[in-house]
Structure 1
Amino acid sequence: MGILSFVEDRPTPKAVYNWRVWLLAAVASCTSCMIGYDSAFIGTTIDLPSFKSEFGFYSMTSSHLSMISENIVSIYQAGSFFGAIFAYPIGFYWGRRIGLLMAGLVFVLGAGMMLGANGDRGLGLIYAGRVLAGLGVGMGSNMAPIYISELAPPAIRGRLVGTYELGWQIGGLVGFWICYGVEETLPSSTKQWMIPFAVQLIPGGLFLIGLLFIRESPRWLLSRGRREEGIKNLCWMRQLQEHDIYILEEVRMIDQALEEQFNGGGSGFWTPFKIAASDKRIMYRLFLGSMLFFWQNGSGINAINYYSPTVFEQLGVTGTNTSLFTTGIFGVVKTVGTCIWILFLIEWVGRRRLLMIGAVGSSISLWIVGGYIQAVDPAKTADGKMTSGGVAAIFFFYLSTAFYTPTWNGTPWVINAEMFETNVRALAQTSAACSNWLWTFLISRFTDQMFAAMGAGVWFFFASLMLCSVFFVFFLIPETKSIPLERMDHLFDHKPIWTAHAKVMAELQEEELQVRQELGATEKETVTQVERVV
C-alpha cells in the first residue's frame, strides 16, 4: 500500500472523496487558524520593545513583569476553557453550524476590543478582549473537530480532521513571522505592536465568510428528526444520488447508531452525562482523551509557543531580531511537519504508532538540549556569538519539534473525534476541548516561573513526560483509523488493545461481504420474477 493510499471500511465511489468535504473541513478549520495565530504572536508581541515601552514594562520588577506576561497569555486559555463548555448546549440545541457562527462572532468582537488598548487606557481592553476571543476559539475548538468527523468518509477522516491541525500551524506560522516583520521594517511605535493584534481579524473574518457556504451535519439533522434535510445534505456532501447504495448504507448505519442511542437512554440534553456516569467504558475513554492532552502539553510545545523568546534566550540566542527569526524558523518546522502528517502519516502510519515514534524522538532530543544547557548555561555566558555547541542544541530543539509536530500536535484531536459513538460524542468533544485548554492554561500560566526556578530542569521534565507517554499509548490506546464512528465500542471491547484494530477491520469486511451477497441474491430474485411475468 502506497503512502497516499488509505484503507476503506467498504467499497467507496470516488465521488465521495470530493472537493466539498475538503471545503467544509477547511472552513471549520479556520477556528484553529485563529488559535494557532494567537499561540504564536502573543508571546513575541509582548516581547517587542514598543509594547514594553507603551505599557511601562521596563519600570517593573522581574517578578511583576513575569506575572503580567503570564496573565496576558493565560487569560485567553481560561476563556477558551469556558467557551468549550458553552459550546455543548449550543451545539445540542442549535447545531454545529450555528455553534461555529457564534464562535466566530465572539472571537471577532474580542479581537476588535484589543485594538482599543494603549498606554493611557492600560491593559484592561487587552485582558477583556482576550477573554472574549478565548471564549470564541474555545467554542470553535469543541465544534470544529466534531463537525468534521461527522461529515468525513471513514477512509479520509484522519486527513480531514487533520486540516484542523493544519489551520493551527498556518496561523502559527503567520503569527511567528508577523512579529519578525514588524520589528524588522517598522520603527518602535504603537503601530508596530498594534499590527500583530489587528491581523487576528483576518482569519476571523474569513471564517465568518466561509460559514455562508457550509451545510449542517447530516448526523445532527438525522438525530433531530430532520430526516429529509439530513439525507439531502449527505447526498450533497458525497455527490451521490439518494438511492445510491453507498448513501443507503451510510444512512442505515447512522439510523442503527441512533436507534442504539435511543435504546441506551434517549437523546436528551442530560442523557450523555447519565450514560457516561453509568457506563465505566465511556468514563474510561473520557479519561483517555483527557490524558492525551496532558501528554501533549507534557511535550513542552505550548511552553515554547507562548514563551519562545525566553526559550531561545536560554539557548544563548541574543537580540530581539535574532530571537524572532529563530522563532520564525520554529514555526516553519511545525508547518512543514503538519503538512507531512496530514498528507501521508495520519492514514498511512496510523494513530498509535505515530504517537509512540514522536514521543521517543522528541524525548531524546529534549534530553540533549537540557544536557547542553545544564553543562554550559549559555544564557549567562552568551557574548552575542553562537558556539558550535549552541548550534547543535538549537538543531536538536528543532529536531524535537520535527518529531512532535507530525505526531502529537494533531493526533490527539483526531483520536478524540473518532473514539466515541453518537450518543456521547458531543460530551466527549467538550471534555477533550476543556482538557486541552486546562493543560494549556496551566503551562502558559506557570512556564515563565518554571524557567526561572528550574533552569535546564524544565527540559528534563518535559523529556521525562514524553518518555512516559509511550507506555500510556502502547497499553491503553487502540488504533482508530478507518473504523466507522458507529463501531468504536466494538473496537475498545477487544483485548489486548494492540490487536483490536485488525480484529474489527476483519469483522467489517465480513459484514460487508454478507450485505453484498444478500443484495445480490435479492437482485437475482427480482430479475427472475420479472422474467416469469414477461
Structure 2
Amino acid sequence: MGLLTLVEDRPTPSAVYNWRVYACAMVASFASCMIGYDSAFIGTTLALPSFVHEFGFKHIEAHHLATIKANIVSVYQAGAFFGSLFAYASAFFLGRRKSLWVFATVFMLGAGIMLISKNGDLAPILAGRVLAGIGVGGASMIVPIYISEISPPAVRGRLVGIYEMGWQLGGLVGFWINYALIETMPASRRQWQIPFAVQLIPGGLLLIGSFWLKESPRWLYSKGRREEGLRNLCWIRKLESNDIYIVEEVASLDAAIEHQTSTMGMGFFAPFKAVGKSREVQWRFLLGGLLFMWQNGSGINAINYYSPTVFKSIGITGTNTGFFTTGLFGVVKTVLTFVWLLFLIDKLGRRNLLMIGAAGGSVCMWIIGGYLLGTDGKRNGKELGPGGTAAVFFFYLWTTFYSPSWNGTPWVINSEMFDSNTRSLGQASAAANNWAWNFIISRFTPLMFLNMGPSGSGVYFFFASMMLASIVFVWFLVPETKSIPLESMDRLFEIKPVRKANKVVLEEVRLREEEFRHDAEGAGLDAAKGIDVSYEEHVTKV
C-alpha cells in the first residue's frame, strides 16, 4: 500500500472521489483563510512603524502597552467564542449553507469597520474585531461539520484537512504582507490599513462561493427534505440514485435518523438532553475540548499572534529581519500542512501524528528555553551568535513537528467523533473550546514574556511541558478515528483499550457490509446494478 492508498470502509466507486466534493470543501474553507490570515497579520501589523506612530505606542509604558496589544488581539477570540455558540442555533434552523452566508456577512461588516479607525482611536478596530470574531467563530463551527458530512469516509481526513490548508494559506499571506509593505511602501496610514483591508478578500470569496455550495444531505434528511437531500447526495457523489453505494448510504442515514428519533428526538434541545443523560457522550465532549487545550498549550497561537515578540526573545532584532523570519515560519507551516493533508492524516492516522508531533516539539521547546535561561538575557544588543542561530533552528524544527500534527488534527477528530445525535452541538462545543483557549493564550502571552524568566524562557518550558503531557493524554484516551464511518463512532468509543478500537470497528463494519450484500442479493438486488428492490425493503434489510 502506497502513501496515497485509500482505506475504505466498503467497496467504493471511483466516481465518489470526484472534483465536486473537493470543490465544496475548498469553497467552504475560504472561512479558514479568514481565520488564518487574522492569526498571522495582526501581530506584525501592531509592530508596523506606521501603526505604532498612528496610535502612539512609543509613548506608552511597557506593561500598559502589552495589555493594549493583548486586548486588540483577544477581543477577536472572545467574539469567535460566542460566534461558535450562535452557530449551533444557526446550523439547526438554517442549515450549513445559509449559516455560512450569515457569518460571512457579519465578518465582512467587522472587517470594514476596522478601516475607519484613525488618529489614535482604537475603538473601531476593537469593535470591528469583535464582529469579525463572531463571523469566524460561527464559520469555524459550520465548515468542519459540513465537510465531514459530505465526505466519503476514506478521504474524510483529507477533505477536512483542506479546511486546515486554507488556514495555513491565509496565514502565509498574513505573515508576509507586512514584510512586503515595510520593504516597498513608506510609513503612512495606508500602509497599516492595507493588511486590515485584505481580510475582505477571503470573506467575500466565502460569501459568493456559499451560494454555489450544496446543502448537506445529512441535514436535509434530518429535516424531512428527502428528495432534495437525495438530489444533493447524488450530485456530490456523481452517482445515480439507484446505485448500490447511494442506496446503502441513504439507508445508513435513515437508520441514524430513526435511532436519533427513537432515543432522544429531533428538537433543538434534544442534543442537550442527550449529553445530560449520557456519561459516554459527556466524555466525548470533554475529550474534544481538551484536544484544543493541548493544541493551544503547545504555543502555536502565542507564536502566531505575537511572532515579533517571540523572535525578539530569541535574539532576532530589527523590524525587517523579524518580519522576514516570521514569513519563513509561515512558509514552513504551509508546506508541511500540504504534506499532512496529502500523505499523513489518512495514512498514519490521528493518534500517531499527535504523539510524534508532541514528542519532537517538546524537545525543541526545552532546548530553546534552556538557551534563553543560560544566556540570562545578556545577548541583547549583540549579534545572534551560534547559540542564537541554533535556537532559531530548533524553532523551525518545532514548526516541522507541530504543523503536520497538532495544527489541524484536533479539527479533524472533532469533526468526526460525535454521533448524529450530537454532532452539531459537539462541533459547536469544540469550536467554542478552541476559541476559549485561544483567548486565554492571546490575552496573557505578552505578560507571560515579561514575567516568566530571562527573555521569557519560562514560556518555552511551559509549552514544552504541555506537549509532553499531551502524549499521555492521547495514548490512553483518544481512539483512532481514521476511516471509521460516522455512524460507527459510538461503537468506536465503547472499545477498550482505545489503541485497539480502530481495528476492531473496521472489521465489524466489513462483516456487516458483507452480510448486507449477501442479504440484498438474496432479496433480488443485483450488487452491480443496484436495482430491483424497493427503498423500504432495503431499509428493512439494514
Q: Please give the range of the TM-score, normalised by the shorter of the 2 chains.
A: over 0.9
Shift of 1:98: 0.7
Q: In the alignment, does 2:28 pair up with 1:20?
A: no
* 1:480 aligned residue: 481
2:402 alignment partner AA? Y
* 1:516 aligned residue: 517
Whole-angstrom distance in 1 between the partners of 2:496 and 2:526: 41
* 1:30 aligned residue: 30
Structure 1 residues 57 and 525, CA, compared in 2 at 3 Å: closer, same or farther? closer
* 1:218 aligned residue: 217
Whole-angstrom distance in 2 between the partners of 1:73 and 1:525: 59
Whole-angstrom distance in 1 between the partners of 2:137 and 2:318: 34
1:415-473 deviation digits (Å, cap 9, x = unpaired): 01111111100000000000000000000000000010002011000000000000100
Q: In the alignment, does 2:69 pair up with 1:59?
A: no
Whole-angstrom distance in 2 between the partners of 1:386 and 1:468: 32
Matches within 5 A, 1:252-401: 252-377=251-376, 380-401=378-399
1:475-499 deviation digits (Å, cap 9, x = unpaired): 0000001111011000011111110
Whole-angstrom distance in 2 between the partners of 1:103 and 1:23: 20
Please say if residues 27 and 207 of structure 1, whose CA atoms lie closer than 8 Å, have aligned partners that are also in contact: yes
1:144-180 deviation digits (Å, cap 9, x = unpaired): 0000000000000000000110000000000000010
Whole-angstrom distance in 1 between the partners of 2:59 and 2:162: 44
Whole-angstrom distance in 2 between the partners of 1:93 and 1:99: 9
Whole-angstrom distance in 2 between the partners of 1:237 and 1:320: 48
1:404 alignment partner AA? Y
SS at match of 2:345: helix
2:466 alignment partner AA? L
Shift of 1:524: 8.3
Shift of 1:129: 0.4
SS at match of 2:175: helix
2:74 alignment partner AA? S
Q: In the alignment, does 2:200 pair up with 1:201?
A: yes
* 1:109 aligned residue: 109
2:30 alignment partner AA? C
Please say if residues 317 and 384 of structure 1, whose CA atoms lie closer than 8 Å, have aligned partners that are also in contact: no
Matches within 5 A, 1:441-480: 441-454=439-452, 455-480=456-481
SS at match of 1:3: coil
Shift of 1:5: 1.0
SS at match of 1:146: helix
Whole-angstrom distance in 2 between the partners of 1:58 and 1:463: 33
Whole-angstrom distance in 1 between the partners of 2:427 and 2:403: 21
Whole-angstrom distance in 1 between the partners of 2:416 and 2:87: 18
Tell which deviates more after alignment, 55-64 or 291-300. Answer: 55-64
Matches within 5 A, 1:53-132: 53-119=53-119, 122-132=121-131
2:15 alignment partner AA? A
Whole-angstrom distance in 1 between the partners of 2:383 and 2:376: 14
1:315-359 deviation digits (Å, cap 9, x = unpaired): 100000000000000000110111000000000000001100000
Shift of 1:381: 1.9
What is the alpha-carbon root mean square deviation over aligned residues? 1.4
1:406 alignment partner AA? P
Shift of 1:519: 2.3
1:468 alignment partner AA? A
Shift of 1:213: 1.0
2:256 alignment partner AA? A
Structure 1 residues 328 and 377, CA, compared in 2 at 3 Å: closer, same or farther? farther
SS at match of 2:315: coil
Whole-angstrom distance in 1 between the partners of 2:457 and 2:231: 58
Give unmatched runs, 5+ long, in structure 1: none
1:444 alignment partner AA? S
1:276-308 deviation digits (Å, cap 9, x = unpaired): 000000000000000000000010000000000
Please say if residues 318 and 384 of structure 1, whose CA atoms lie closer than 8 Å, have aligned partners that are also in contact: no
Whole-angstrom distance in 2 between the partners of 1:382 and 1:126: 33
Whole-angstrom distance in 2 between the partners of 1:459 and 1:441: 19
Shift of 1:63: 1.2
Whole-angstrom distance in 2 between the partners of 1:491 and 1:177: 43
Shift of 1:377: 3.9
* Matched positions, count: 526
* 1:426 aligned residue: 424
Q: In the alignment, does 2:183 pair up with 1:169?
A: no
Instruction: Give the percent of matched residue pairs that are identical in Structure 1 and Structure 2.
Output: 60
Please say if residues 91 and 143 of structure 1, whose CA atoms lie closer than 8 Å, have aligned partners that are also in contact: yes
Q: In the alignment, does 2:178 pair up with 1:179?
A: yes
2:448 alignment partner AA? M
* 1:490 aligned residue: 491
Q: TM-score with structure 1 length normalisation?
A: 0.97
1:68 alignment partner AA? I
1:37-87 deviation digits (Å, cap 9, x = unpaired): 000000100111110100111111111111110000000000000000100
Shift of 1:525: 10
Please say if residues 257 and 486 of structure 1, whose CA atoms lie closer than 8 Å, have aligned partners that are also in contact: yes
Whole-angstrom distance in 2 between the partners of 1:423 and 1:98: 21
Whole-angstrom distance in 1 between the partners of 2:403 and 2:370: 22
Structure 1 residues 524 and 310, CA, compared in 2 at 3 Å: closer, same or farther? closer
Whole-angstrom distance in 1 between the partners of 2:526 and 2:339: 50
Please say if residues 418 and 480 of structure 1, whose CA atoms lie closer than 8 Å, have aligned partners that are also in contact: yes
